[in-house]
Amino acid sequence: MARSIAFQGELGAYSHQACVETRPDLEPLACRSFEAAIAAVRSGRAELAMLPVENSTYGRVADIHRLLPDSGLKIVEEAFVRVEICLMAGAGTRIENIREVRAHPVLIPQCADFLATRGIRGVAAPDSAGAAAELARAPQPDQGVLASATAAETYGLEILARNVEDLDHNATRFLVMARDYDETRRGDHGMITSFVFRVRNIPAALYKAMGGFATNGVNMTKLESYMVGGNFTATQFYADVEGHPEDPALARALEELDYFTDEITLLGVYPADPGRR
């Protein structure tokens, strides 16, 4: 199997940064889509896939929850990566000469104060790392890019300012996916169990299903619902809970959940990342 880790996006994307920070022993493999990153692992082209699942500022990453149950992969790790936005430009460019920056539309509002105080106009680009690559090929004395430090290093751009985001708590949670995993592992900072489920079509089914976690003292850190197949009546839930399925309390809670659901799919049992604290 190839010693690589697949991610969605261009080299220099924040997912690339997550790969470098979390698994520096593996070669990052850029993929055009989340589906392509998953397929790279399933085919053996990559050992792992690094997939963003949620951001502290913008919430859930679209499509990821839909893809996970049928991916054929399991969650083996989680990683919390700080989103640090850098202003970069061609070598020798002075920050006072920058009049326009390009970036993904999600990044520009996060730097609104920084840009306004310097009279810099933000222009949307399909991809921040791609915008960095374009600027490296054709530098302009009054143009810059907002992207990760990894993008500047990848494309040979000069960082004019670091941490230009208005808020300093922006972070993205990534899930590391693999074909196989050891469910017996135990982490130094606890364990997380992730699963999706559909409740039975009976009154108060969700309330009753969740009751088992409360009565057994199991902390549920995430519960999100989303439609399945465009059907308003087919709602699936994604959940993260603290603990291991072999822990007596979680085992009892999952047994009670099973009674009130039509389907439960275990997505992974993995060590909790210290970053979630």
Is 7 in the active site? no
Return d(Cα 98, Cα 164) in angstroms, integer: 14
What pLDDT is recorded for position 33?
93
Out of 114, 174, 237, 260, pick the active-site residue: 174
CATH assignment, 191-272? 3.30.70.260
CATH label, 86-161, candidates 3.40.50.720, 3.40.190.80, 3.40.190.10, 3.20.20.300 = 3.40.190.10
The tokens describing 147, both together, are: 């992207």
pTM of the model: 0.88
What pLDDT is recorded for position 209?
87
Pairing of strands 171-178, 48-55: antiparallel
What pLDDT is recorded for position 275?
79
Backbone angles phi, psi at 67, to 5 degrees: -80, -30
What pLDDT is recorded for position 202?
76
Backbone angles phi, psi at 42, to 5 degrees: -65, -35
What pLDDT is recorded for position 230?
63
75 in Cβ contact with 180 (< 8 Å): no
What pLDDT is recorded for position 124?
95
Out of 93, 172, 193, 261, pick the active-site residue: 172
Coil, helix or strand at residue 210: helix
CATH label, 4-83+170-178, candidates 1.20.1600.10, 3.40.190.10, 3.40.50.720, 3.30.160.60 = 3.40.190.10
Distances in Å between the Cα of 5 and the Cα atoms of 103, 130, 221 are: 25, 20, 27
Residues of the chain within CATH 3.40.190.10 domain(s) are 4-83+170-178, 86-161
Return d(Cα 37, Cα 45) in angstroms, integer: 10
Helices marked H in 201-243: 205-215
Report the chain (277 residues): mean pLDDT per 10 consecutive residues.
86 95 96 96 96 86 86 96 95 96 93 96 94 96 96 97 89 94 83 92 84 95 81 78 96 93 93 86
Residues of the chain within CATH 3.30.70.260 domain(s) are 191-272
What pLDDT is recorded for position 231?
64
Return d(Cα 84, Cα 169) in angstroms, integer: 9
What pLDDT is recorded for position 233?
61
Is 174 in the active site? yes
Cα 189 → chain centroid:
20
What pLDDT is recorded for position 65?
82
Q: How many helices (H) and strands (E) does the chain have?
A: 9, 15
